[in-house]
Amino acid sequence: MRAYFQLFIGLLIPLSGLFIVTAVLYFKIEYSFTKAMRLGVLSGFFIAIAVSLFTALLLLIMRRGRQPQKDIFSGVKARKERRTKKSTFDKHIKTSDTETTKITKPLKPAKTSVTTQKNIMLLMDNSIAFEVLLYAIADQKLGQLTESKESEGHIVIKTDKSIIKIIISPLTKHTSQMQISSEVDDLENIQKIITYVKEKEYSFTQY
């Protein structure tokens, strides 16, 4: 129904103009221009409506009569496209499986070093945290202090198990971050440092 009204409106506008002009010229032969104009507009418009109704219905019937043939061909093409896409997709999956099989061959496990790393946030600035850390190392006799750079916040300790590296960096004006790492698993000494610093941090925040 919507298609019919679209055809009807599309035909009515140009046909109205054509029939109105023709009717006005016809009636002007026998009547005055004003009367011929009135008669021409009315008669031309109604004639255009009748012709548009009939023509739109005829065109719609003709269009519907041709539609099934187009649908058949389009359906055949769609099925062919689906089959082509399916075969291409299957080939792609087979190729991907082959490539995956080639890539995922068992490899010999590489020897990697065990690294222990902890990141701790401290509620004290980096300079105070650095001093507390030095006291923690000396007080607990964790090992030999091989490197100490306060300007860089960098400390290196050599214990009986490994070498522990500590970096203290500022986060805000009153907070800092302590990063502790060792190439060999030395969690016991790392935990001692963290516990000592956290205890001092708690005492520091109570003032």
Inform me whether the pLDDT recorded for 157 exceeds 70: yes
Pick the last residue of a domain from 103, 130, 158.
103
One domain for residues 96 and 128: no
**pLDDT tens for each residue of 61-114:** 887 766 554 444 455 566 667 766 666 655 555 555 555 444 545 555 544 455
Inform me whether the pLDDT recorded for 192 exceeds 70: yes
One domain for residues 72 and 146: no
3-state SS, residue 196: helix
pTM (two decimals): 0.42
Length of the chain: 207
Q: Among all chains, which residue has been given the structure tokens 């300790």?
A: 157
- The domain that holds 168 is classified in CATH as 3.30.530.20
> Where do the H-state alpha helices sit in 28-140?
33-103, 126-140
Average pLDDT, rounded, for the chain: 75
